[in-house]
Structure formats: C-alpha cells, structure tokens
C-alpha cells in the first residue's frame, strides 16, 4: 500500500514538521559541515517491522531511492531507503524523516499484529478517530498499511450514534429516527439487550457492542443473528482480540492501534561521498 503524498493533509504535515524543526536554520550543521560536501543517507530497520510512510521521503529529500514501500514486512538490517545529496540537507532533515518513519511504522506494525491475531476468523480489524491531532490522514494510512480497515475518517463521512447522542436525543429510537433523514447507514452504540432490541427495531444497519466481555458479546451476536452488522469496541487489546474475534462479529475496532503504538527503531547513517 502506497501513501498518497499528493493529499493536502500529508503535504501540510510534512511542511509543518520541517518548519517546526529547522526554523531559521540548522546552526550546528551550518557551522560544522562544508557547504560543498556530498553525502549518502541510509535508512535501515533495526527491528522486525511493518514499515509505513516511506513515500514521504520524496517530500523531504530530492529523488530518494526507496527500497521498500508502505506495508512491507522488514527484518533487522533491511534497507528502507537511500538518499544522495548535500550533506547539510541530509543532516538537517534526518530527524523529521525519522520521526515520520518511526511513528508511522510503529502504527503499521501494531496494526499488523492485530490483524495476525484474528487470522482465520473472517473478522476485520478497524482503526478509530483516536489519532494525533493534525496527523489523522497519515496515521490512518499507516494503519491501512498494516492491514486494518479504516473506520470513518471524521465526523462528516459516517453516522455513528454513541451513548451521549442517545442520552441527549431522548433515546435510541429518537436518535436513529433523526439520523435516518441523512440517507446514510446508521450505526448505533449499544450496551444492553434492551438497546440492541430498540436499535434493531428502528432499522440500524450496524450495532457497536461497547465494552462487553467476549462472552457477553458472543451471546448478543447470537441474538442479533445477522439482522445487522456487528462491531465490537472498548477494551480491545492484543491479548484479548482473538477471544473477541471468536465471538464472530463483523468488525473489531481498537483505538490502541493509533493512540498506543510504540515507535519502531530505524537508523539513519549519513556518510561522506
């Protein structure tokens, strides 16, 4: 899976990161490295990972040689990319490049682990809106590179009625009835059998079983009996996602994929030519 580096949010994020780090100039590099020196930068994996964001290097450097693409599974020592150019430029932009690669590859790697954990069950893993402000498009691209299905991008592209909506609207029936005027499939967060029955009676297309145990979810999924799609969310971890998947929902979503991913270890060595 390749990142869409033409997406305006992607370009904006890279430009903002460079401006934040470089500011008025890299005073250390300018003071210590000759302006004429040419160099080579090699980005190398230092742990097993699913890499993501490699394509962003084309927005940071001039004509990098990419050895992998987003979604590639890499081993220790695998080269991710090689860049030739002015030593000053490579040094100045090294940290921004690594910050993107390490963070996004961390998300893709965790996403891939979730996907692997439910292999063979037919369940799709989804991400959530629990992303770093300003980096949602990039982080969701990274999650997709790891094999998960992107949930809604924002509040504007899908209907998901949560318990606060239900409370303020005056109940499940009232909330669903109003949302159906949008002409989109309606998903409803449910926590009890009564809410499930009411949502089904109103014609909800998908039910989000929130914060149930795998055993509770299994009982309710059997009760629904394919009358609506089922998503499980709340408290899902790598340790329990398989148990949830064996309850046979259609989807399992986990905010941990984006909000709790650990950056992976990638090295950038820069050598004079």
Report the alpha-carbon distance of residue 185 to residue 162 in Å, rounded: 14
Please enumerate in sequence order all residues whose Cβ is within 8 A of that of 58, keeping only pairs 6 or more positions apart, or say none. Answer: 5, 64, 66
CA dihedral 261, 26, 38, 65 (to 10 degrees): 30
Report the alpha-carbon distance of residue 67 to residue 45 in Å, rounded: 11
Catalytic residue among 67, 95, 191, 248: 95
For the question of residue 178 being annotated catalytic, the response is: no
Catalytic residue among 55, 139, 210, 220: 210
Please enumerate in sequence order all residues whose Cβ is within 8 A of that of 181, keeping only pairs 6 or more positions apart, or say none. Answer: none
Catalytic residue among 42, 67, 113, 130: 130
For the question of residue 2 being annotated catalytic, the response is: no
For the question of residue 63 being annotated catalytic, the response is: no
Catalytic residue among 11, 12, 63, 162: 162
For the question of residue 130 being annotated catalytic, the response is: yes
Are 18 and 253 in contact by the 8 Å Cβ rule? The answer is no
Which tokens go with 88?
């000053």
Report the alpha-carbon distance of residue 50 to residue 213 in Å, rounded: 30
Catalytic residue among 55, 139, 189, 198: 189
For the question of residue 95 being annotated catalytic, the response is: yes
Report the alpha-carbon distance of residue 215 to residue 24 in Å, rounded: 58
Q: Which residues are part of the catalytic machinery?
A: 95, 130, 162, 189, 210
């Amino acid at each position: 899976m390749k990142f869409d580096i033409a997406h305006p949010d992607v370009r904006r994020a890279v430009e903002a990161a460079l401006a934040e780090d470089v500011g008025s100039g890299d005073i250390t590099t300018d003071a210590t490295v000759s302006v004429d020196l040419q160099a080579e930068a090699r980005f190398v994996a230092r742990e097993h990972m699913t890499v993501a964001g490699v394509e962003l290097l084309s927005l940071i450097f001039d004509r990098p040689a990419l050895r992998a693409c987003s979604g590639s599974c890499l081993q220790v020592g695998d080269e991710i990319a090689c860049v030739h150019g002015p030593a000053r430029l490579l040094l100045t932009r090294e940290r921004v490049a690594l910050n993107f690669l390490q963070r996004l590859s961390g998300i893709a790697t965790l996403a891939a682990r979730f996907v692997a954990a439910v292999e063979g069950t037919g369940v799709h893993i989804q991400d959530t809106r629990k992303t770093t402000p300003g980096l949602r498009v990039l982080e969701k691209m990274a999650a997709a590179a790891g094999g998960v299905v992107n949930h809604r991008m924002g509040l504007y592209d899908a209907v998901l009625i949560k318990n606060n909506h239900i409370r303020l609207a005056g109940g499940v029936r009232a909330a669903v009835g109003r949302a159906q005027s949008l002409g989109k499939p309606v998903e409803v967060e449910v926590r009890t059998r009564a809410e499930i029955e009411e949502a089904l009676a109103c014609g909800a297309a998908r039910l989000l079983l929130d914060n149930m145990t795998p055993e509770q979810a299994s009982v309710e999924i059997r009760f629904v009996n394919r009358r609506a799609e089922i998503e499980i969310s709340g408290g899902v971890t790598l340790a329990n996602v398989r148990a949830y998947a064996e309850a046979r929902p259609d989807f399992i979503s986990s905010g941990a994929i984006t909000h709790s991913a650990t950056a992976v270890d990638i090295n950038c060595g820069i050598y004079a030519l």
